[in-house]
Amino acid sequence: MSRGGKADLVYYITYHVDGQKKWEKVGKKSEGYTATLADQVRAERIRSIRHSEELPKKVKAPYFNDAADRYIKWAMTNKKWQGDKSRVDIHLNPALRKKKLNEITAGDLEDLKEDLSKKGLSPASVRHCLVLVRMIYNKAIAWGLYKGPNPIKGVKLPTLQNQRERFLSYEEAGELLDKLKEKSKTAHDMALLSLHCGLRFGEIANLRGHDIDLRNGIINVSDPKNQTARKAFMTEAVKEILASYKAVNGDFLFVDRKHKGKVAHITGAFFRVVRDDLKLNEGVTDPRQRVSFHTLRHTFASWLALQGESLLTIRELLGHKTLEMVKRYAHLVPDEKKKATARLEKAFNKGKERKDD
């Protein structure tokens, strides 16, 4: 098989199930697969069969589209589901709907990954589709519809290069806040919370009256993305704007007046100011360089790094679980190693002077 005019190597494995020989495509050399990895996959399949982890003969595995339909019904009352339904209808069902869950292999999913890429889907979109397959299998297992392995375990998810690089200068941030103040109080106040406290849009939208401690200047971030509560600390500007909100206890600070309840999206005023008034994205095609609401949180972290705060401090203020997630800010931190060496030399020289005296 060729890829870009060059020969490509495809790894297959074979094993027996109920006396029948089965072949399974593992993946291609160009995708990072090796003979060793194929051997590991085969060993895992054999071990699974040996320990009776495959479906009992009396249990029928559902077709993929039936499992997907059940998942979407669950998602409609538990999470944002519109994107999942579109991915199932447009990208997953055409390739998988006629197969039962126990008939779909890692090789099938690798083929799906390749086909989606050829259709022009971005690596992020392909990854979303594969992660959705994983969730459908996991829910089918949890609901007792299927008792076999999840084939997504043998698939390499696309690597994303989508970390935001663009952050605002102090001047740009000041101009943004000034313009937003003219257009929309809500957009201005939410932007200020992200710039000064590093909050995500979802965290801001979830803020209630009881999360605000004006006396101590603390915001209790009770529903962050990673489900680990943390505290954010108010600047004087943030304290001033939060004092103007009357929400108490269970009331949301930022309310969607049309649909009631908490705001679901950043107001259009934010995007109009970025696009039309300040033209911050004019001529910018790289998504990592385009200014969005999330750029404000990235700006908060970048400013901390530029003023010499440690990666540990930045991690805690952003609410990340690991230092790995904030390493992209390391190049902005002043060279502490150089400073440490200079301090060592200074201490050495002082000690030498005392000895000479």
Q: Indicate the residue type of 289.
A: Q
- At residue 121, the pLDDT reads 84
**What confidence category does residue 225 fall into, taking pLDDT thresholds of 50, 70 and 90?**
low
pLDDT greater than 60 at residue 131: yes
How high is the pLDDT of residue 16?
83
Question: What's the whole-number mean pLDDT along residues 100-115?
Answer: 92
Residue with tokens 């979407």: 72
More confident residue, 248 or 81: 81
Is the pLDDT at 102 greater than 50, yes or no? yes
- Determine if residue 249 is left, alpha or beta; phi over 0 gives left, psi from -120 to 50 gives alpha, anything else beta: left
User: What angle is formed at CA 172 by the lines to CA 167 and CA 175, rounded to 5 degrees?
Assistant: 145
What is the model's pLDDT at position 122? 80
Q: What is the mean pLDDT of the chain?
A: 85
Least confident of 92-96, 161-165, 341-345: 161-165
CB atoms within 10 A of CB 260: 8
Encoding tokens for residue 4? Answer: 């870009």
Identity (one letter) of the amino acid at 29?
Answer: K
Residue with tokens 């779909």: 104
Domain with CATH 1.10.443.10 in the chain: 170-332
Residue 226 predicted with pLDDT over 60:
no
pLDDT for residue 50 is more than 50: yes
Query: What percent of the chain has a predicted confidence (pLDDT) above 70?
Result: 88
Distance CA 174, CA 167 (A): 13
Q: Is the CB of residue 217 less than 8 Å from the CB of residue 237? A: no
Q: Of 111, 145, 149, 150, whose CA–CA distance to 133 is shortest?
A: 150
The pTM score is: 0.56
Give the chain as a 3 state SS string: CEECCEECCEEEEEEEECCEEEEEEEEEHHHCCCHHHHHHHHHHHHHHHHCCCCCCCCCCCCEHHHHHHHHHHHHCCCCCCHHHHHHHHHHHHHHHCCCEHHHCCHHHHHHHHHHHHHCCCCHHHHHHHHHHHHHHHHHHHHCCCCCCCCHHHHCCCCCCCCCCCCCCCHHHHHHHHHHHHHHCHHHHHHHHHHHHHCCCHHHHHCCEHHHEECCCCEEEECCCCCCCCEEEECCHHHHHHHCCCCCCCCCECCECCCCCCECCCCCHHHHHHHHHHCCCCCCCCCHHHCCCCHHHHHHHHHHHHHCCCCHHHHHHHHCCCCHHHHHHHHHHCCCHHHHHHHHHHHHHHHHHHHHHC
Determine the pLDDT at residue 141: 92
CATH superfamily of 61-162: Tyrosine recombinase, N-terminal domain (1.10.150.130)
Half-sphere CA count of 218, side-chain side, radius 13 A: 10
What's the pLDDT score for residue 55? 47
Orientation angle between helical segments 123-142 and 64-75, nearest 10 degrees: 90
What average pLDDT score do residues 143-148 get?
90
C-alpha to C-alpha distance for 261 and 253, rounded to whole angstroms: 10
pLDDT digits (tens, 9 = 90+) for 158-210: 876 556 678 899 999 999 999 999 999 999 999 999 999 999 998 999 899 99
What pLDDT band is residue 343 in, cutting at 50, 70 and 90?
confident
Spatial separation of the C-alpha atoms in residues 301 and 314, rounded to whole Å: 6
Dihedral sign of CA atoms 214, 218, 220, 226 in order: positive
Q: Over 90: is that where the pLDDT of 222 sits? A: no
Q: pLDDT at residue 304 above 50?
A: yes
Q: What is the pLDDT of residues 24-45, one digit of tens each?
A: 888 888 877 888 888 888 888 7
Summarised one tens digit per residue, pLDDT across range 73-91 is 998 888 777 789 999 999 9
Does 249 have pLDDT greater than 70? no
pLDDT for 2 equals 47
Phi, psi torsion values for 212, nearest 5 degrees: -100, 120
CATH superfamily of 170-332: Intergrase catalytic core (1.10.443.10)
